[in-house]
Amino acid sequence: MNNAQRIIITGGSGFLGSHLVEKFVGQGMPRANIFVPRRQDYDLRYERDVMTMFRDFPGADQVIHLAANVGGIGYNMENPAALFYDNLMMGTFMIEQARLFGIRKFVAVGTICAYPKFTPVPFREDDLWNGYPEETNAPYGLAKKMMLVQAQACRQQHGWNAIYLLPVNLYGPRDNFNPASSHVIPALIKKIHDATVLSQPFIDVWGTGSASREFLFVEDAAEGLFLAAQNYDKGDPVNLGSGMEITIRQLVETLCRLMGYTGEVRWDNTKPDGQPRRCLDVSRAEREFGFKAKTGFEEGLRRTIEWYRKNPL
């Protein structure tokens, strides 16, 4: 890594972004060479603010675009228009202005929600366009997917180095545990924690428990992003995941065991399961830039639970 490099990480104060900043600093990059734009200073949904941001940090070599409006199933169902608009505008303006400002490389971070609802398991990058995404998160998934189209178009027309990564569901310390917008693991950890503290005899969980998911520990995700940012320069999209699959029912049982909760789990099958299955083919990431997840799932869950118990919402 060139330690004189200057890098912009949008969303760098958030869950994944804060771990990624720590990764770059840990590898020797001076913290002063990493610019993390804050929402109160730059609203990236507006082109004028994006242009101002690039002017305020001149000479940047690379952008990693993590900033997003994002949440769980309930949040997606309540805010489809905002999720589509906000993410589409941020991605569009960030890519175009980065190109015009002469940024050498752009790392667009997409989402597993971009895949079709009934993608064969394991999800391979070549299946990305073979159907429509799962309905509850389609507006978000499609908005983020447009960054891939734009990145590849800029590569074709301008020879510009923009790459696109598809991380699976993340979890770990500093996650969003707000029940109004959190994803499944932090939502369940908070629910089980509260039930334990209040001695509640049962918890309610959305869906049937039959849907499956894949999860990637946030520090592993930061490692994958770092390796891609340093070593991957092709136009093909790349999955970032752990290659494991677990049903939501198995996940709930594991969390209850790790957290010592013995109450009843009540499944609310009037609520959606979301995408039926999710599990990635992660071979391209390992082949192209040497990324392979290292953190065992139960180890990652224990570290996440420990962090939340010290920082309860």
Residues labelled as active-site residues: 140
Q: Answer whether 168's CB lies under 8 Å from 280's CB.
A: yes
**Residue among 143, 55, 64 nearest 100 (CA):** 55
Specify the long-range contacts of residues 182-188, CB closer than 8 Å, at least 24 apart: 182/71, 182/72, 183/71, 183/72, 184/72, 184/213, 184/248, 184/251, 185/215, 185/251, 185/255, 185/301, 185/304, 186/304, 186/308, 187/72, 188/251, 188/252, 188/255
222 residue type, one letter: A
On the CB side of 125, CA atoms within 13 Å amount to 17
Strand order through the sheet with 105-109? 34-35, 7-10, 62-65, 105-109, 161-167, 238-240
Q: How many residues does the chain have?
A: 313
Token pair for 20: 């990624």
β-bridge mates for residue 204, sequence order: 266
Strand 34-35 and strand 105-109: the pairing is unpaired
| Sign of the dihedral defined by the CA atoms of residues 144, 145, 150, 155, in that order | positive
**Cβ distance 239 to 280 under 8 Å?**
yes
What are residue 26's phi and psi, to 5 degrees?
-65, -25
- Please state, in angstroms and as integers, the Cα–Cα distance from residue 32 to each residue in 3, 7, 29, following that order: 11, 10, 8
